[in-house]
Amino acid sequence: MAVAGVIAEYNPFHRGHGWQLAELRARLGEDAAVVICMSGNFVQRGDFAILSKYARAEMALLGGADLVLELPAPWSAAGAERFAQGGVAVLAATGVVTCLAFGSESGSLEPLEVAAAALDSPQYHQAVRRLTGGGAPFAAVRQEAIRSLTGSAADCLSHPNDILAVEYLRALRRTDIQPMALPRVGAGHDSGEESGYPSASAIREKISSGGDWKNMMPEASAGILSREIREGRAPAVWQNCQRALLARLRTMAEEDFQPYDGGNEGLYHRFYAAVHKEAAVEGILAAAKTRRYPMARLRRMLLQAYLGVPQAKQGETPPYLRVLGAGSRGRTLLAEMRRTASLPVLVKPGHIRRLGAEAQRVFDQEARCADLYALAYPNLAQAVPESEYTAAPVMLPGTEGRRRKP
């Protein structure tokens, strides 16, 4: 049985995601299994996921996935390189995943592989040093450096899915997993287009504005979202806990922001000044923004500071495989992973105490993040403390492993 891996956020799961999983099986065979490494409650753009990780795992299972594993916050709320490294490490540690499928605007592996190889070359670092100094954003400097080495292959670094794809390819070099590029279908990454395959950002905008979003999603996903809204757990947005966020930031000393300045460029000085000048989150981000620093990086810095969780360091990988959900074929994979996995597989949260100190540290950190995430629920009564230690994964079909409500 072929086993494909996908690294995803599913924020929320939409028709394009469903198409990708169906296309995977069209290429690999209907008996192929699909393992998802999915971001937990926080996503790469530096934001709260609009639905909890359990609700999104349920969407994924009903949309065609077989097994959903968690990507913890130090990797899920990080830049593209750390996000990719964490996701690939999780899938590789299963010992069952044979290929990694990812969406790509170019739809071709060749330019992505050329760009990935160039990024790991000594010549790339020399080119970056030569081009740095004009105040241009690092992304622009990086693309120009790659263009000087590869020519048109650098064009792929203009597209968000291709940027991630390049980082996946770099991380895959340390594994035996083979890449599979799938053409991205539907609206662009941040497009507001609603017909055909609407983007996740278009759906989130409809949800947040109270518009009609139900016809923009697969029926099963829409049903789960409706349930979560009805029960007061969605949409989870930072605006619901802005006072808590500001309270955390205002109690931090200037040097406390330094661990969240991933580039060690002194950005934390600007951030600290903005925190003590502005009265709202959007004002802080606007005050700290410069041409050099993209808004996504500033949002990640703000989120990491709120959580007290810096992004993972180079070379760090998740210390366990946390199961968020599984279907019947996924449970078969879990049985096989008892033999093949190179990391502990965590199905019952209470078993974390059987693992080593590093695994316990990361899990305890995730539990704290889950408590802070719940403060973004519309209904604060649903924000049950320490639910991470009792929540079981979603198991479909049947009810033997269905989670308790958080």
Q: Omega before 397 cis (within 30°)?
A: yes
| DSSP code at position 389 | G
Structure tokens given for 326: 């599984």
Tokens 């479909």 sit on residue: 396
- 399: confidence class by pLDDT, cuts 50, 70, 90: very low
Q: Which backbone phi and psi does 133 adopt, to 5 degrees?
A: 125, -15
Q: What are the helix (H) ranges across 293-356? A: 295-307, 328-340
What's the pTM value of the predicted model, to 2 decimals? 0.94
Q: DSSP character for 326?
A: E
Report the pLDDT value the prediction gives residue 131, as an integer from 0 to 100: 92
Q: Comparing 286-290, 332-336, 360-364, 386-390, which segment has the lowest mean pLDDT?
A: 386-390
What is the DSSP track for 226-292?
Answer: HHHHHTT--S--GGGGHHHHHHHHHTS-GGGGGGG-TT-SSHHHHHHHHHTT-SSHHHHHHHH--SS
Does 402 score more than 80 pLDDT? no
The pLDDT of 267-271, averaged and rounded, is 93
Q: What is the dihedral of CA 45, 51, 54, 57, to 10 degrees?
A: -70
Residue 133: pLDDT over 60: yes
Q: What is the mean pLDDT of the chain?
A: 93
CB atoms within 10 A of CB 173: 11
Cβ burial of 352 (10 Å; 0-12, 13-18, 19+) is buried
5: which strand partners? 35, 100
Helix axes 122-131, 109-119, angle to 10 degrees: 80
| Mean per-residue pLDDT, 197-223 | 94
pLDDT band at 290 (very low <50, low <70, confident <90, very high): confident
> Could you tell me which residues are beta bridge partners of residue 101?
180
Other CB atoms within 10 A of residue 3 CB: 22
Q: How far does CA 396 lie from the centroid of its chain?
A: 23
Query: What distance in Å separates the CA atoms of residue 314 and residue 7, rounded to the nearest whole number?
Result: 19
Res 98 pLDDT > 60: yes
Task: Please report which confidence band the pLDDT of residue 266 belongs to, taking 50, 70 and 90 as the band edges.
Answer: confident
| Whole-angstrom distance, CA of residue 398 vs CA of residue 325 | 12
Tens digit of each residue's pLDDT (9 = 90 or more) over 344-355: 999 999 999 999
pLDDT at 134 over 80: no
Alpha helices in 29-72 (DSSP H): 53-62
Task: Report residue 212 as tokens.
Answer: 């009609």
Q: How sure is the predictor about 387, in pLDDT bands with cuts at 50, 70 and 90?
A: confident
Does 264 score more than 70 pLDDT? no
Strand pairing class (3-8; 67-71): unpaired
Cα–Cα distance measured from residue 216 to residue 204, given in angstroms and rounded to the nearest whole number: 10
List, for residues 10-31, the tens digit of each pLDDT value. Answer: 999 999 999 999 999 999 999 9
Identify the bridge partners of residue 180 per DSSP, sorted by sequence position: 101
User: What is the mean pLDDT of the segment spanning 63-70?
Assistant: 97
Question: What is the C-alpha separation between 40 and 43, in angstroms, rounded?
Answer: 7
With vertex at residue 267, the alpha carbon angle to CA 296 and CA 116, rounded to the nearest 5 degrees, is 50
Residue 282 has pLDDT above 60, yes or no: yes
Rounded average pLDDT over 82-99: 98
What's residue 184's pLDDT?
A: 82
pLDDT band for position 263 (cuts 50, 70, 90) = low
How far are the Cα atoms of 4, 250, 369 from residue 259, in angstroms, in the given order?
35, 16, 17
| pLDDT value of residue 401 | 36
